[in-house]
Amino acid sequence: MILSDGTIARLLKSGELKVSPLTDESIQPASIDLRLGSHYLTVESSKMDCISLSSKIEYRELKGDVLTIPPHSFLLATTMESVELPDNMTAFVEGRSSVGRIGLFIQNAGWVDPGFKGQITLELYNANSLPIRLESGRRICQLVLCSMDKPALKPYAGKYQGQTLSTGSLIFKDSEKKASL
């Protein structure tokens, strides 16, 4: 079940759900708007010839209250807010419609697991033919909160737990079993 503004406000007040720093205008009818931070990562293409799921990816760090993302470019960014979800709640991250209408696609793999704590890293893609100027502090995405039927047996404790700032892919740390040939 998607949570309403009244339920969100009650959970924030009780401390069961934590989103900080938060402004009054952030609470929407069925979500919380999150703002763009001032920390970014871009793939350091001059140090790699290919991105592999098995190797560490090199990133270049960018900081600033204003940053321009070129046309057809990919960039990692972070939210200003830090989020702490209880073990009985999950969330979807969706780009704001007004932002999508200028050609800026926002993703974070779309999902925040129960028990997650930290800032949310966003994957940004400029699908437009013009550069887009990003400004720290602007509402960029929304967190849609969902109540689970019961608390997770194994709340999130993965490699992105407690992340601050933009965090690059750590997929190379995954321990999947290799298929037998």
Catalytic amino acids? 123
CA distances to 8, 19, 21, 88 from 11, rounded to whole Å, are 5, 10, 15, 12
On whether the CB atoms of residues 30 and 6 are closer than 8 A, the answer is no
Token pair of 79 as six digits = 């939210």
Q: Cβ contacts of residue 20 below 8 Å, gap of 6+?
A: 81, 82
